[in-house]
Homo-oligomer: A and B are copies of this chain.
């Protein structure tokens, strides 16, 4: 039994209410492992190209991996994938929490959902059993009420629920999917896909014990991971992901006022330090994890913020903070809560509002457009109101909810130059002018600009940092501003590693991508769970496979190489902050994109994978 992993895939067709269980050949697991890569296997095989992402033809995949649910810390992540209604390309987004281990305990690695229910439904999956249940009474409800109701009617408070809020029901293309109300598959608008299928939620519960090939080794590696975990310099556990805010601001790479500037005078007020000293009531966590990087915040006045919705992470703090010129953590937390109640992606929502604010400041939008709101940077009431208006598709919020590029076209008057997006998706909050690899990531990620799809340059820029990448054979640092072939090489190697983490559902924080032993530790862990004689070579090939599959998906959907670019503003000098005047050289950037294509084994003009590359990756079925 050389390929000794046995798993089950749940198949649901909502149109005809049919349920089936597949036990794929082990070779499928060897090649695709799980996460977005396994999802791509189904999408590329079964999704009819150019179908409507919000039609019943779209295929929605929830996928864990061959190691999800086993005990090591950081294995709580999973992918949701489908054609994205936001980018019209490959839509995929990961979340942590407790949902995927529970799905594994209930007997399944992944769920592949097709069709559209005639009326709202939810799935109830428990110990290998699957029910499609009526959700008419849940439709229109906020996420918390939905979760409460489902747990009540199933009579089990420990049911884990992935769900959409009103935003997903309203098919807003920046709607997310939430589990435990606070872990979001945020990006690429997958909540809308779920809504389009009339699927309100997926509730899971299971008691199956995970079988592993080598129990002793799994125990030993789990302990090793915990024992060798080193808290980063700015403590992730104590300060959460927004531990880096003051540092970024000092370095001039904290996106501020819609990427106009890179330093924010209110940085300290919205920092992880301030949060932990003021509104933080608990450090949240995911299944099996000792890091406890999640935040749970409480505010009494002037807004009520319930810790059950968690608290803002770095991206959310930047989205509603520095991007909107707001230095008030309470207001930011309120916006975060509204997003989680409506099921809105905080990154896209903050990006849209920041964009609208700059349009307003530039006179492109006027009070008659905003419904009387004084939508200037720094106005926190206006910001909070706009979040609700987007969630309700109300007034200006309704226009923004169409998508940043569509809204920009409607606004006219140069608004398009202020729309900070790639492939229609607003940027996350990392400044490419201060770290060019992030720019490559924004331009080249198949899912659009997503900070979870690639590594960030500072890791590669120092001798100490580069020493940690020793298992990849990268031996010399590369400057953060570099755009030459060595930057592209390191970007590609680490992108494949990131794809691997996402395929296995490993959290980048516990994976300590910044430690050389981790590369081999992950190999050992996969070996111990599956019994496969794998290697870093084999596993990184899965990451490469992912990149090629996602590229093919996008090309099929008509996303050409022209969409692999950055918003014009990033080729212009930064207007403020420590890096004032810094820009990305457009020619160098284009050259780097071409280098990327070539290094990937893709056509240098169209970025189409050569058939030889596909064959090399066992993807000849895609030729």
Please report which residues of chain A, range 88-121, place their CB below 8 angstroms from some CB of chain B when the two chains form the complex: none
Could you say which residues of chain B place their CB within 8 Å of the CB of A595? 612, 615
- Whether the Cβ atoms of A473 and B533 lie closer than 8 Å is no
Which of A21-60 touch B at CB < 8 Å? 27, 30-31
A519 at the interface (CB under 8 A from B): yes
Say yes or no: A537-B471 contact (C-beta < 8 A), given A598-B610, A599-B613, A610-B598: yes
Q: What residues of B have a CB within 8 angstroms of the CB of A365 in the complex?
A: none
Contact check, A620 vs B536: say whether CB atoms are below 8 A apart.
no
- Contacts of A27 on B, CB cut-off 8 Å? 475-476
How distant is the Cα of A542 from the Cα of B537 in the complex, in angstroms? Answer: 13
Interface locus among A202-210, A485-493, A561-569:
A485-493
Of B520, B598, B601, which contacts A533 at CB under 8 A?
B520
Say yes or no for A516: interface residue by CB 8 A criterion. yes
Number of A interface residues in the complex (CB < 8 A): 45
Q: Is the CB of B615 within 8 A of A533?
A: no
Instruction: Report if A467 contacts B (CB, 8 A).
Output: yes
Which residues of A (599-623) have their CB < 8 Å from a CB of B? 599, 601, 610-613, 615-616, 618, 620
Task: Name the CB-closest residue of B to A541.
Answer: B473
A155 an interface residue at 8 Å Cβ cutoff?
no
- A504 to B: closest C-beta gap in Å: 15
List chain B residues, Cβ under 8 A from A269. none
- Chain B proximity of A500: nearest CB distance (Å): 11
- A598 to B610 alpha-carbon distance, docked (Å): 8
Interface residues of A in 451-486 (CB under 8 A from B): 467, 470-473, 475-476, 484-486
The listed residue with most B CB atoms (<10 A of its CB), out of A30, A523, A533, A615, is A533
A485-B616, A599-B616 known; A470-B532 Cβ under 8 A = yes
Known: A486-B615, A620-B486. A519 touches B492 (CB 8 A): no
Q: How many copies does the complex hold?
A: 2
| Contact string against B for A residues 518-529, beta-carbon threshold 8 Å, 1 for contact and 0 otherwise | 011001000000
Residues of B within 8 A of A476 (CB): 27
Report if A517 contacts B (CB, 8 A): yes
Bound together, the chains give a CA A435 to CA B540 distance in angstroms of: 30
Q: Which residues on B sit within 8 Å (CB–CB) of A618?
A: 473, 475
Known: A27-B476, A486-B620, A620-B486. A471 touches B534 (CB 8 A): yes
A535 in the interface (beta carbon within 8 A): yes
- Distance, CA A542 to CA B27, complexed state (A): 28
Asked whether, in the complex, the Cβ of B485 is within 8 Å of the Cβ of A615, the reply is yes
A489 touches which of B538, B598, B615 (Cβ 8 Å): B615
Are B537 and A492 in touch, CB under 8 angstroms?
Answer: no
- CA–CA, A542 and B473, complex, Å: 9
- Please measure, in the bound complex, the distance between the C-alpha atom of A620 and the C-alpha atom of B599, giving whole angstroms: 13
Of the candidates B470, B535, B613, the one whose C-beta lies within 8 Å of that of A536 is B535
Complex alpha-carbon distance, A507 and B2, angstroms: 26
User: Can you offer 12 A-B residue contacts whose CB atoms are under 8 A?
Assistant: A30-B475, A31-B475, A473-B618, A484-B615, A489-B615, A520-B533, A536-B537, A537-B540, A595-B615, A598-B601, A599-B601, A601-B601
Known: A475-B618, A488-B612, A519-B533. 9 other contacts (CB 8 A): A31-B473, A472-B537, A484-B615, A485-B615, A489-B615, A535-B536, A595-B615, A598-B601, A601-B601
A residues sitting closer than 8 Å to B (CB atoms) are 2-3, 27, 30-31, 467, 470-473, 475-476, 484-486, 488-489, 492, 516-517, 519-520, 523, 532-538, 540-542, 595, 598-599, 601, 610-613, 615-616, 618, 620
